[in-house]
Structure 1
Amino acid sequence: MTPMSLKPGKSPLQLACEATHAALADAGIDHRDVDGLLVGSSQGVRPDRLGVTFAAQGGFSDLRLLEHVEIKGATTIAMVQRAQLAIESGAASTVVCVFADAPLVAGKGAGSTYAHSGGQAGARGLERASGVLGSVPTYALLAQRWMHVTGAVPEDLCAVATTTRAWALGNPDAVVRKPLDVTGYLESPMISEPLRRLDCARPVNGAVAIIVSDNETLGNPIRLHVRGTGREHPVRRRRAGSESWFGGGRRAVDDALEQAGMSRADLSMAQLYDPFSVVTLMLLEEYALTGKSSAGDFVRGGGTSAGGTLPTNTGGGQLSGFYLQGMTPLAEAMIQLRGQGGDRQVPGATTALVGGIGGRIDHHAAMILERAS
């Protein structure tokens, strides 16, 4: 990982190089030992967007596998899944997966960068002409509908925000580490009802790189096994006459667990993609992670907190930790399973569910990681 920055600075290319060098050093190998490279970048066509040209720019050569993968927030798990399949088929043996982004640029905020992704044509153009800019208002509509259908209340959103902030206090890489209580949450300005500023992710400039390999002699003695993966793409069409905002995704988790030979009771933690507080609630419920409790009751009852039955987003998630698309939950899962969580370490953690979503919960990806015995 690079440091996560709230200020303009390095380009995605520079950040990707930095993270990749760190990952290679962590594994005790160099560029010559890598025969696969998978690159992920944030959505939207931007001049500095990371692509397959990173192979040359990053110092790689003689690759057997080189691809740019893009399924929005589900990209990270898709990259790992792609690497795993390539290794199992013999198409590659050691694959670097890297994601880098730098939405914070001089003269404008990250919100402006994201608001212009998706283009001006079709439904997105109609939304933009109506003043629906970026993800916040669309997720606010989603949140209103989900809360109406499930009976969730604003206090549930607050519980997610305060719980993830409590986790972030133990994470030196988190970009927001000021204690947060209910009063502080309610003082946060409303951006698009019911989402307040503190219900929204905190974008950063940064990068994460990981190495997937079947090489048992890599330098780092702490290895993690990819035990199972799963994907589900509901392919919704948001037109009158159908419920198109949410639902789907459980099959991705079921498939990952089945492949791993595990059940939900075997999970030490969950690291879920949380661009907004409501998404944590939705995924906990959709993925059947709360038992017989509603997601709101589960979070407010401490289920996702330290000492809870399913510690969730233990680095502060994307609300208080940092927003780096699907790399945020994966990086935290790896830190925890390596026992490197410091003040936030989940005692005895051996397994993790990593979840990624794309778009407006249009894509679901799930992965089960386990610490090697």
Structure 2
Amino acid sequence: MGKHASSGKYAIVGLGVVAGPQPDRSERMIAAEAARLAIADAGLTRADIGGAIDLRRTGGGGDRASYSDAFTRVLGIKNNFYFTCGRGGALAGLGMAAAMSYLDRGIADYVVLMGAVTDWSQSQETRKKGFRGMAHAEKRGYWGKPLGDSRAVSHHSWMAARHMAVYGTTSAQLGAISVAQREWACMNPEAKMYGRPITIEDHQSSPLVAEPYHLLDMSQVSDGGIAFILTTADRAKDCAKQPVYVLGQGFGEVSADLWWEKKNFTHMAVEPAKKQAFGQADITLDDVDCAQLYDCFTAEVLFQLEDYGWCKKGEGGAFVADGNMAPGGSIPVNTGGGLLSCYHLGDLTGLAESVRQLRGEAGERQIEDCDIVLTTGHGGELVSPGMCSIHTCTLLGRHA
């Protein structure tokens, strides 16, 4: 069939990252700084930016309180449009799909997309009031909490437990995912867990939070912000940094088929998303040099390794235990440490690492001859705790 007409037509040209605890900054301040860094990274000015998309993440345990004002006003950007976008941890993929529409119609020459959170700082404040972790705004119709589904780990643990029951996966095999991503994080000075390696024994001895999930199966609680600039391939050639081209995108919903087939606890909505994205880019899985797989918990990584086809369904446990996703493995996965060991900014965490790998800016963890990266997003349950989540697949490349 060949490439889709849109493949390679758009590119990321600027990246801005604000990482680590930000106790004295609001989300809006973090957002403005990340956007400022992205604009500077692209060699652009605020006057070049024609549109902005604020990528807002929602948690599996409830919604975050919103905030007034916009980072674009703080920066003095005279944009033609500004709006919020996102579902669960699927932020960058959805935002890019929207931004490309505006670029295609000439509504903007450059679009800045940004996501920022202050989850860690907020959790410290709520702890002082006697709560555990960050307080969320209650979702209407969320029937799980009175029955014990108090946090995202509760209903995500069912996925891991079901996979174990059906395929014989073990907790230690899930631990291999945590260990591998910590190895990658220990090569990333920006990662929260930099310099803090772990072993399978550490994973197994960490507190059991929601069976079968241990503490080390869970993602980080983070502050920070990530922004990036999207433009057309023609304009990208004149920017300061190596362009990172959007080769293909795909989307899938658990509620389309898996929910009705009762496969929603052993599969993710990868199949339609993969078919769309890989078809647009006209590539196969063998062309992917590394993968940034959404990893709110360890089982999500294992499911995606199986569902994308790096191993057969039910064989993910053995695949990760053999070191295939770790440094030196057959498919480098979450090379910056991911949500488990770097920081949790939804799929923006993987997006930022993808850009760095394709630019050759990943330092010690740089993948040799990295030409194509797959990055995914996940979340935004429609029926919590029923796990009717979205899945996004974005293929990025060094060449158009």
Settle same-fold status: TM greater than 0.5: yes
Counterparts of 1:197-346 in structure 2, within 5 Å, are 197-214=215-232, 215-235=235-255, 242-247=262-267, 248-290=269-311, 294-346=315-367
Query: 1:357–1:363: 8 Å Cα contact kept in structure 2?
Result: yes
Within the candidate set 31, 40, 57, 1:16 is matched to 31
Q: CA deviation at 1:45?
A: 4.9
Q: Kindly tell me: are residues 111 and 98 of structure 1, through their superposed partners in 2, closer, same or farther at Cα, counting changes over 3 Å? A: farther
Residue 72 of structure 2: aligned partner: 55
* TM-score after normalising by structure 2: 0.85
Within the candidate set 89, 102, 116, 1:86 is matched to 102
Q: CA deviation at 1:322?
A: 0.8
| Amino acid of the structure 2 residue aligned with 1:232 | G
- For residues 303 and 293 of structure 1, what CA distance do their matches in structure 2 show? 15
- For residues 338 and 365 of structure 1, what CA distance do their matches in structure 2 show? 22
Residue 161 of structure 2: aligned partner: 144
- For residues 299 and 253 of structure 1, what CA distance do their matches in structure 2 show? 21
- For residues 372 and 133 of structure 2, what CA distance do their matches in structure 1 show? 38
Aligned pair 1:116/2:136, yes or no? Answer: yes
Task: Name structure 2 gaps, 5 residues minimum.
Answer: 1-15, 381-386
Query: 2:371–2:397: 8 Å Cα contact kept in structure 1?
Result: yes
Query: 1:207–1:324: 8 Å Cα contact kept in structure 2?
Result: yes
- 1:107 counterpart SS class: helix
State which drifts further: 236-245 or 334-343.
236-245
Q: CA deviation at 1:261?
A: 1.1
- For residues 371 and 261 of structure 2, what CA distance do their matches in structure 1 show? 45
- 1:74 counterpart SS class: coil
- For residues 266 and 243 of structure 2, what CA distance do their matches in structure 1 show? 35
Q: CA deviation at 1:362?
A: 0.7
Q: CA deviation at 1:96?
A: 0.4
CA offsets per residue over residues 224-253 of structure 1, 9 Å max, x none? 100100111232799999444353222102
Q: CA deviation at 1:294?
A: 1.6
State which drifts further: 138-147 or 38-47.
38-47
Q: Kindly tell me: are residues 255 and 240 of structure 1, through their superposed partners in 2, closer, same or farther at Cα, counting changes over 3 Å? A: closer
Q: Kindly tell me: are residues 239 and 362 of structure 1, through their superposed partners in 2, closer, same or farther at Cα, counting changes over 3 Å? A: closer
State which drifts further: 229-238 or 295-304.
229-238
Query: 2:347–2:377: 8 Å Cα contact kept in structure 1?
Result: yes
Task: Name structure 1 gaps, 5 residues minimum.
Answer: none
- 2:113 counterpart SS class: strand
- For residues 289 and 357 of structure 1, what CA distance do their matches in structure 2 show? 19
Residue 46 of structure 2: aligned partner: 31
- For residues 28 and 169 of structure 1, what CA distance do their matches in structure 2 show? 30
State which drifts further: 279-288 or 216-225.
216-225
Q: CA deviation at 1:199?
A: 0.5
Aligned pair 1:171/2:188, yes or no? Answer: yes
Residue 364 of structure 1: aligned partner: 391
- For residues 166 and 190 of structure 1, what CA distance do their matches in structure 2 show? 22
Aligned pair 1:352/2:367, yes or no? Answer: no
Aligned pair 1:67/2:88, yes or no? Answer: no
- For residues 261 and 52 of structure 1, what CA distance do their matches in structure 2 show? 42
* TM-score after normalising by structure 1: 0.91
- For residues 253 and 240 of structure 1, what CA distance do their matches in structure 2 show? 20
Within the candidate set 26, 41, 45, 2:56 is matched to 41
Query: 2:325–2:331: 8 Å Cα contact kept in structure 1?
Result: yes
